[in-house]
Structure 1
Amino acid sequence: MSDSWLFLRDDETVVWEGTPRLSAAIGGITAGTVIVGICLVAAVTVDPRLAAASLVGIGIIAWSVLRIRHTKYVITTRAVWLKRGVPGRTVRRVGLSQVQNTAYSQSVTGSTFGYGTVSVEVAGGPDVTFRRIDDPETVRQAITGRIGGDGTEIPGTVEQWKEVLAIVRDLKTAVE
C-alpha cells in the first residue's frame, strides 16, 4: 500500500480496506445546496452582491465530500486502522489483541442498499467505528476471525493444564 500513514510489519498484510459511502455526506450536500439556492434567489431578487454568499454553501458541500473522501478504514492481520481528517490528520491503530467485541448494524435503507456500521469495542480506549461501509457483516467477520472468535476454545495446551493441575495439587497438600 502506498499510503504513508499506514505502516505494516513484515508479516502483516491488508485483509480489507474501505471508505464511507458518499451518501454519508448527503446532509452537508443538501444544506450547502439549499444555501446556494437561497443566495442565488436573493441575488436575483434583492441585490446581486448576495451571490457571493453562495460561496458558504459551496464550502459546506466541498467540506462534506472531502471529509468522507479523506476517511479510510483498514483491517490487517494484526490491527484495525482508522484515518480521517481534511486539514489535519488523525490516525488510530488498534491491535487485534485489544479488540474485545465487535458488532454491526444496518438501518432500513442500509439493509436495502447493503451498507451499515461496524463497531469495534477496544480494551482501555475509545471504540472504533466504521460508518456507512459496504457489506458490514463481512467486515465484522474479517475482524472476529482474527481475534480468536467465539470464546469456546480453552486457552493453553493439555501439557500446560497438567502442570497447572500438579501445582494446584501441591498447594492443596501444603495447605492441609
Structure 2
Amino acid sequence: MAYPAKLLADDEEVVRHLHPHWLTVFWPIVAFLVLVGLGSFGAALIPEGSNQGVYRLVVVVLAVLLAVAFVVVPLLKWRTTHYVITTHRILYRVGILSRTGRDIGLSRITDVSYTQTLWDRIINSGKITIETAGEGGSTIWSAIPDSDGVQQLLNHMVEEDADRRAQESAGYIGQYYRGETGPVPPQR
C-alpha cells in the first residue's frame, strides 16, 4: 500500500515505506492456528444434551475473544505501523484507534546507526537509531527489515538532502551577486 500522497509536499517522493519485520506477526498467526484447533476440539468434547448448544457457543465466544486479543490486535498494530523515508524527511506513524507520529527532516539527522542480535542477523532484521539535532533526542525504530540497508539508505538520503540544499542556496547566492531578481529563498 502506497503512503498517502496528501501527506507529502509537492516535490517530495516516498523512497521506502516499511512495516515492522514480518516475523512480528508470526506468533499471532501461530496463536490463531492454536485457537482454532483448541476451539474445535473443545466444542467437540462437549457431551450431547439440552445445553450442548449453549456450551459450544461459550467455547466459540471465548475463542473469538482470545483471537481478538492475541491475533487481531497484533496484526492491526503491525499493519498500522509505518516507517516512511522520503526525499525530504522520515515519518513514523503508529496506532490503531489513537495515532502517534513523528516527522524528522533529513537536515536534522546527525547520525544513523543500526543494531542486530544474532537472531536479527539470521532473519535480516534489526533496530535503527536515528540521532537528531535539537530537543527531540534519538528515535528508535524496532524490528526493521534489512536494517543494514535501511541505515545505508538513510545516510545516503541525508547526504543527498545536504547536497540539494547546498545547490539551492548556491543558486540563490549566484542570482543575488549577478543582480538577478527572483524568488526569495525559503527560510529554513
Band the TM-score falls in, shorter-chain normalisation: 0.5 to 0.7
> 2:136 corresponds to which residue?
125
Structure 1's unaligned 5+ residue stretches are 150-176
SS state of the match for residue 96, structure 2?
coil
For the pair 1:50 / 2:59, whether they are aligned, the reply is: yes
Instruction: Tell me, in whole angstroms, the C-alpha distance in 1 between the residues paired with 2:24 and 2:98.
Output: 20
Cα offset, 1:17, TM superposition: 1.9
> 2:12 corresponds to which residue?
12
Match of 1:79 among 89, 93, 99: 89
- With over 3 angstroms needed to count, the CA separation of the structure-2 counterparts of 1:105 and 1:88, relative to structure 1, is same
* Coordinate RMSD, CA, aligned: 2.7
Cα offset, 1:54, TM superposition: 0.5
SS state of the match for residue 86, structure 1?
coil
For the pair 1:67 / 2:86, whether they are aligned, the reply is: no
Give TM-score scaled by structure 2 length.
0.64
Aligned length: 148
Cα offset, 1:38, TM superposition: 4.9
The correspondence of residues 1-176 of structure 1 with structure 2, limited to 5 A, is 3=4, 6-8=7-9, 10-31=10-31, 34=34, 37-38=37-38, 40-45=40-45, 47-48=55-56, 49-59=58-68, 60-122=70-132, 123-148=134-159
Instruction: Tell me, in whole angstroms, the C-alpha distance in 2 between the residues paired with 1:141 and 1:125.
Output: 22
Give TM-score scaled by structure 1 length.
0.68
Q: Which residue identity is paired with 2:124?
A: G
Structure 2's unaligned 5+ residue stretches are 47-54, 161-188
* 2:3–2:14 Cα contact (<8 Å) kept: no
Q: Which residue identity is paired with 1:141?
A: Q
- With over 3 angstroms needed to count, the CA separation of the structure-2 counterparts of 1:130 and 1:2, relative to structure 1, is closer
Instruction: Tell me, in whole angstroms, the C-alpha distance in 2 between the residues paired with 1:143 and 1:36.
Output: 42
* 1:35–1:56 Cα contact (<8 Å) kept: no
Identity over aligned pairs, percent:
25
- With over 3 angstroms needed to count, the CA separation of the structure-2 counterparts of 1:137 and 1:73, relative to structure 1, is same
Deviates more, 1:107-116 or 1:32-41: 32-41
Cα offset, 1:3, TM superposition: 0.8
Instruction: Tell me, in whole angstroms, the C-alpha distance in 2 between the residues paired with 1:64 and 1:27.
Output: 9
Instruction: Tell me, in whole angstroms, the C-alpha distance in 1 between the residues paired with 2:27 and 2:149.
Output: 27
Cα offset, 1:67, TM superposition: 0.9
Instruction: Tell me, in whole angstroms, the C-alpha distance in 1 between the residues paired with 2:136 and 2:31.
Output: 34
Instruction: Tell me, in whole angstroms, the C-alpha distance in 2 between the residues paired with 1:76 and 1:19.
Output: 15
